Structure 1
Amino acid sequence: MGLIERSLARMGLARRSLDGDQLSWKAIDPAQGLSGSLSVRAAENLSTVLGCTNAISTALAYVPALTYRQDGANDRAEAPEHPLRQIVRGGVNPGMSWPDWVEHLVASTLLTGNGLAEILRGDRGQLEGFRHIQWGQVTAVKLASGRLAYDISDPRGVKRRLLEGDVVHLRDRTDDGYIGRSRLSRAAETVAGVQSANVHANSFLRNGASPSGVIESVEPMKAEQRTMLRESFMARASGPSKAGQTLILDGGLTWKPAQISPEDAELLETRKFGVEEICRLFQVPPPIVQDYSHNTFTNSETAGRWFATFCLAPWARKIEAEFARSVFAAGSGYELELDLSGFLRGDPEKRWAAHKIALESGVLDPEEVRQVEGWNKRQTLPNSNPEVEVA
Structure 2
Amino acid sequence: MNWPFSNWFGRERRDVATSDPYLAEYLGQQSSVNGYVDTARASGLAVAQSCISVISQNLAAMPLNVYQRAENGGRDKATTVPLFGVMHDMFNPQMTAFEGREYLIWALLTNGNAYARIEINRRGQVVALYPLNPALVAVEKLESGRLRYRVSDQKGRGSIHLQEEMLHLRYRLAPDGIMGLSPIQMARETFGLALCQQDQAAKQAQKAFRPEGGLIFPQSISGSGKEKVFPGLAKRMRWKSCGYALKVRPRPLAFWFWTVAWIGNPSRCLPRMPSFWKAAS
Query: TM-score scaled by structure 1?
Result: 0.53
Matching of residue 169 in structure 1 with residue 168 in structure 2: yes
In 2, the alpha carbon distance for the partners of 1:169 and 1:214 equals 59
Q: Which has the higher contact order (CA 8 A, sep 6+)?
A: 1
Give the match for residue 199 of structure 1.
Answer: 199
Q: Deviations over 1:28-82 (max 9, x none)?
A: 3223674373321121332222222222111111222222223489632222222
Indicate if the aligned counterparts of 2:14 and 2:111 stay in contact, CA closer than 8 A.
no
2:192 partner letter: A
Specify every segment of 5 or more residues in structure 1 that has no aligned partner in the other structure, as ranges.
1-7, 240-251, 261-391
Matched, 1:29 2:16: yes
Tell me what 2:105 maps to.
106
Query: Which residue does 1:189 correspond to in 2?
Result: 189
Greater helix share, 1 or 2? 1
**Structure 1 residue 157, shift from structure 2 partner:** 3.0
Deviates more, 1:107-116 or 1:67-76: 67-76
Larger CA deviation: 76-85 vs 181-190: 76-85
d(CA) in 1 for partners of 2:65, 2:53: 22
Residue 116 of structure 1, CA deviation:
0.2
Task: Give the drift of 1:114.
Answer: 0.4
Other structure's SS at 2:238 match: helix
- 2:230 corresponds to which of 227, 246, 250: 227
Q: Does the 8 A contact of 1:209 with 1:237 survive in 2?
A: no
Q: Is the 8 A contact 2:65 2:88 kept in 1?
A: no
Does residue 143 (structure 1) correspond to residue 142 (structure 2)? The answer is yes
Matched pairs, number: 235
> 3-state SS of the aligned residue for 1:179?
coil
The letter of the residue matching 1:24 is R
- The CA RMSD over aligned residues, in Å, is 3.1
What whole-Å deviation, never above 9, does each CA across 1:295-345 have from its counterpart, x for those lacking one? Answer: xxxxxxxxxxxxxxxxxxxxxxxxxxxxxxxxxxxxxxxxxxxxxxxxxxx
Query: Identity over aligned residues, as a percent?
Result: 25
**Superposition pairs of residues 57-68 of structure 1, within 5 angstroms:** 57-68=56-67
Change (3 A) 1:224 1:88: same
Pairwise CA distance, 1:142: 0.8
SS in 2 for 1:77: strand
Change beyond 3 A, Cα 1:30–1:170? same
Deviations 1:266-318 (A, max 9, x none): xxxxxxxxxxxxxxxxxxxxxxxxxxxxxxxxxxxxxxxxxxxxxxxxxxxxx
Q: Secondary structure at the match of 1:180?
A: coil
Distance 1:86 1:238 in 2: 54
Matched, 1:179 2:176: no
Q: Distance in 1 between matches of 2:253 and 2:228?
A: 12
User: Corresponding residue for 1:270?
Assistant: none
